Amino acid sequence: MTRLRLPALPFLFACTFIAATIFGCDLGPNLTTVGSLATVLWLLILRRRNIEVSGLDYFKVGIIVTPLMLLAGALTISFLIALNTTVKSCKREVKR
């Protein structure tokens, strides 16, 4: 059996990938009611309290909020990457 060896990802790239994956998994269910058990439970609790939120109403809010949150999250992740890179390069300069 042959093993496929992939080159190790640079640490910064791996951290970025993990952060983006977590962010995407959390943001995805904000667009529609399907795809998240928490959203379905939230809607069930509202209906039990006689507050009716349709899938279309949820989508109308989600279509506005989700792109804004996606932009904010992407900017935050890129800021943290830039900050991490700057801190590492400053540490290298101090060591010299």
Domain-embedded: residue 10: no
pTM flag (> 0.85): no
Domain-embedded: residue 57: yes
Give the Å distances, CA to CA, from 11 to 7, 15, 29, 41, 67: 12, 6, 29, 37, 28
Domain-embedded: residue 91: yes
Domain-embedded: residue 25: yes
CB 58 within 8 A of CB 32: yes
Domain-embedded: residue 4: no
Domain assignment of residue 23, given as a range: 16-95
Domain-embedded: residue 75: yes
Question: By CB neighbour count within 10 A (0-12 exposed, 13-18 middle, 19+ buried), where does 90 fall?
Answer: exposed
Domain-embedded: residue 2: no
pLDDT in tens, 36-85: 888 889 889 999 999 998 889 988 998 999 889 989 988 988 888 877 76
Q: What's the total number of domains in the chain? A: 1
